């Protein structure tokens, strides 16, 4: 998606060879017009797929996921992150490890909002090692629902998330694919 790539070039800050800061339009301040186009782009890419529900993980996944759900005219559910959970009976819970933040968190979705047989499109802001996407996919599976696709706003193709998800059989569509952040420079994969 050219507009997203331009925005990354103009406003992205390379913090290290591994991390790109995009808090001026995605992770802190949010650009609504860009989010709308991101929603339209995901809707186009998954137009041949039946989607009943969009699932994301709080907090930065919510904006692009909401615009996608609006475009597809389906509900959005965001998985909640919690340090520790006591009341788990009415929740699907998975543990997700973040390599970027070097911490484990539990992600949870209410059983009420994820029925068996639902066709779920997972949307997230970043794909690094795929831990968040796999965690959400495990929740979908636990509910007896189906992951019909995974939409990623920014894929860091030099990390192994895409390869792992593709190998597991998931269809992954990324709107911007970054091949490298070396030497403070953003190099796109395509
Ligand atoms: P993974 O799920 O693909 O394995 O990624 P990882 O654990 O490494 O990512 C954990 C968190 O770090 C996620 O945010 C993810 O969006 C974010 N992240 C990963 N790589 C980058 C990057 O290069 N730049 C930025 N800005 N973020 C990155 P989170 O913990 O879910 O936070 P948030 O959604 O509350 O913002």
Q: The domain that contains 32 carries what CATH number?
A: 3.40.50.2020
Q: What distance lies between CA 20 and its chain's CA centroid?
A: 15
> 39 CB less than 6 Å from ligand 1?
no
The pLDDT tens digits for 154-173 are: 999 999 999 999 999 999 99
d(C-alpha 116, C-alpha 61), whole Å:
23
Does the pLDDT of residue 86 top 90, yes or no? no
The per-residue pLDDT for 190 is: 81
* 122 close to 55: Cβ distance less than 8 angstroms: yes
Task: Decide which of 55 and 98 is more confident.
Answer: 55
CA of 177 to the centre of ligand 1 (A): 15
> 12 CB less than 6 Å from ligand 1?
no
pLDDT tier for residue 85 given thresholds of 50, 70 and 90: low
The per-residue pLDDT for 87 is: 65
Domain hosting residue 54, numbered range: 2-188
> 98 CB less than 6 Å from ligand 1?
yes
The per-residue pLDDT for 84 is: 62
> Sign of the C-alpha dihedral, residues 3, 76, 170, 83?
positive
137 burial via Cβ count (<10 Å: 0-12, 13-18, 19+): buried
Q: Please tell me the total count of domains within the chain.
A: 1
The per-residue pLDDT for 44 is: 98
pLDDT tier for residue 83 given thresholds of 50, 70 and 90: low
What atom in ligand 1 is closest to the CA of residue 134? 2
CA distances for 184 relative to 2, 15, 44, 45, angstroms: 21, 8, 32, 31
């Amino acid at each position: 998606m050219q507009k997203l790539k331009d925005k990354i070039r103009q406003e992205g800050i390379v913090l290290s060879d591994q991390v790109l800061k995009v808090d001026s339009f995605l992770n802190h301040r949010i650009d609504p017009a860009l989010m709308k186009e991101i929603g339209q782009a995901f809707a186009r890419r998954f137009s041949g797929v039946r989607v009943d529900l969009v699932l994301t993980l709080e907090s930065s996944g919510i904006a692009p996921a909401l615009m996608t759900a609006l475009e597809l005219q389906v509900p959005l559910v965001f998985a909640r992150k919690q340090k520790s959970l006591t009341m788990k009976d009415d929740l699907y819970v998975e543990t997700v490890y973040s390599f970027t933040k070097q911490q484990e968190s539990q992600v949870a979705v209410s059983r009420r909002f994820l029925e068996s047989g639902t066709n779920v499109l997972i949307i997230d802001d970043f794909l690094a090692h795929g831990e968040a996407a796999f965690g959400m996919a495990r929740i979908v599976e636990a509910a007896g629902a189906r992951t019909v696709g995974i939409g990623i706003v920014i894929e860091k193709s030099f990390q192994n998330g895409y390869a792992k998800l593709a190998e597991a059989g998931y269809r992954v569509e990324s709107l911007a694919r970054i091949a490298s952040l070396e030497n403070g420079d953003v190099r796109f994969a395509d």
